[in-house]
A and B are shown apart, each in its own frame.
Chain A
């Protein structure tokens, strides 16, 4: 079942094209990470589908229906920053959200427990640290057990302890099988939490699919030899070497397919190259992400 679909969604702020004909599909049960550098259009996309701002052109649908405010009652969302009434307590603020969504207060204690705010539930929002505010916002997202959860940069502005806490909550939520959409520019976060990824840059969708399909998982070989010139020349000739780069006397090789280190060592020796260092590394998501962005 399609939960959310955008069709040719465009939005500009003056001369800046924030979104450029974005087509995005989120299916039921997916934990989708919308990944992109700052200014890539992640928050703009979420703001439009959450009815906070209007698109210049294009359409979107929730649950295969035209958007209307009532449909958002089935969606829990944290957009950018936690926004609540400072003079009210955590519970009083959650009651306002529950009232708008038309849901009961039965799970109030559960959601506060989930975000570790039970002992501060009767404290004023204005007295909370940023991390606590963010956790309250996550509790508000969860209130009434909505079908879809949306988090926009959920760890933004948090200290390291806060980041760990919020990530743990996100991982727990992702494990429940709900449909989750999470915008982030932190790859590690997306990799740990999400099953699917959509990569945005300059308002355009570069790729969307399962994380393993979109971001290359082939290994990187780190090689070193007393004769680096000969090593590099040899790497240019072998078919399993997709590309290589040199840094601090080490040659990093992006290998096509699963190439065993022992096999590489044997081949190098047969070609008169003695390797003084060989290590197979899991590719960094950052490298793949930058590769996608650069090639867009």
Chain B
């Protein structure tokens, strides 16, 4: 079965799946809702830091790319990718539909390939939404727009957004392939993403290696693809003076690609040896 056949197979399975469609629609509605609510927010009082308190600047080009990416990626997509990645894998085992496909002649590696294509497609869909929403808000809040450079930057940022999604969703899929239980897999994914990696980075890593290298953890690298748009505040307060808190875009891209490669490799390795 080639890529087209695998995509067709997954389309046959999920085209009527309301859960997945609601996830996509929910992402659009929630992302736009948050940005619209944010656009209505105002800060009372004087601005001591030369425009830092102008909240709308995050909705203007080029900051809107980072801001939308941070909200839509590091928070919403983190949860949504985890849910979808776990669901697409674990449900195939809990319903034993993976078994039905294998005994019908689908190879295990093709099964994994089909899931990775799902992940890629889902990442592309979310990235396209991110791109369009950012463009819409950027246009609404920016005066003069240089379209050539704006679109180029948008495509670059959408690519980073897609890569971040791929790391999250593949990480979740890998956990689900190992554990096969939806609730447990989701719990481990959340615990790792929200707590364990933070504990490892800030409480364990420094005792073994220099703190400067604690940025190269998988989900942190993915997170730094869409860094906190308010990180300049850290610069002002002196936080991060000893060593940089964020990976540079190039570092984040390379590190995320390496982890994505490891996750994909592990999925094939485990998937080809797993009983169904």
Contacts and interface: CB of A to CB of B under 8 A. Distances in A.
Contacts of B8: 99
Contacts of A85: 13, 95, 97
B12 A96 contact: yes
Contacts, number: 75
The bracket for how many chain A residues form the interface is 20 to 34
Contacts of B276: 52-53
Interface residues of B, number: 26
B9 A79 contact: no
A72 B104 contact: yes
A69 B99 CA distance: 12
A51 B16 contact: no
B103 A52 contact: yes
B103 A92 contact: no
Binding site secondary structure of chain B: helix
Nearest to B98: A83
A161 B60 CA distance: 69
A77 B103 contact: yes
B213 interface: no
A79 B105 contact: no
Nearest to A82: B100
A134 B48 CA distance: 72
A258 B101 CA distance: 51
Given A79-B103, A84-B100, A99 B5 contact: yes
Interface in B147-177: none
A126 B168 CA distance: 31
A68 B275 CA distance: 15
User: Which 10 residue pairs are nearest across A and B when measured between Cβ atoms?
Assistant: A73-B105, A83-B96, A69-B107, A72-B105, A50-B103, A83-B100, A53-B275, A100-B104, A77-B103, A100-B106
Interface of B: 1, 5, 8-9, 12-13, 16-18, 95-97, 99-108, 110, 273, 275-276
